[in-house]
Chain A
């Protein structure tokens, strides 16, 4: 009993340390974004929103933010659509080479980003599609579709396989059944996949940097600011980007967890 309690305390400290290790840099970045001093040193200067004012006044940052918004929204829609289609084809059909088919679909996230980015750049240049905003969208869709598929596939695996046939049996055509049974059943997973792919796309740097050309996204502009000199503006943008990604990931988790809870309850 006593030994158990000691162990629990030690494990609690261990977990707290891990969280501190992961989040300390981000928290410091947030603190310094409100610091009046130019260099990130302690003791801190006064509280200031100077750096926020500065980035809000910068048209380049605004453009990058808009680009990031467009890219992540379009990527989320395309990747989730592709992910849903592949997950459904896996659920519904049995065919030859299904194993290799699934492996191939799940491959992109395992390729090192820098290799992926170079390959994308080379390919897009070859077919004259590089340097456009849609190039980033295509590249990000390829990159994130496997995540969407994994999330939706998990949900479809929880479905009673008789459900679809039951809808046909009650007079539903294939399309009616898709609309009124498969999609409603997968709705939480689809929402989760949308937020997750949007978050991954919003944060992604390497591929964006290679294929975006002049249409920079937020992570790309952050690097450009850092490359020039040490500028606390980066902390302000960083805080901003972090909050947006965290919101998206949390939303994805909320949809994911609520359905898990529901399925445990029933």
Chain B
């Protein structure tokens, strides 16, 4: 029965066969970090500090990820190893449920961070790091060497949480956001997104390179 389950899982794991899934997630983490960095340094009346600024930025980021992945799949992956169209449940509902779950977890983290008297900075950044690492398990299951990436992420989450307060504070000091969230928490979370984004981009890049090396488009003939 395990073999049946294995066959049913394979098409789902196929999405990241070329590393594009990881590249997309890594890009998303880095753009979150970039937005936080820009927002912190932009003047108070800048569009980045307006409520719609984040919305515009998010729309641009999601569009780049969606159309960028689609272009790579259309031009490279579908021609080399085939096309798969997922069910609405896999395409929309599961990502939506996962997104809602992670957002809820992050909201709890932010709520904890805003209670300054709790001094929960370490816990919050660890929570964010562990949530992002847990999300990676699905990808790590596809290829054995990805477990090394998982361990790097896990170690990264603990190391960032264990950084001295003045180091993490230095990343977020003198920004408007620190009026609501302690600078050390904000800095640790920002650092988490940067580190995880870079790790995902490297891992996705290696997968993409390996995919290009080991696959080639078949000659066109009748099937």
Say whether A and B bind each other. no
List residues of B whose CB falls within 8 A of some A CB.
none
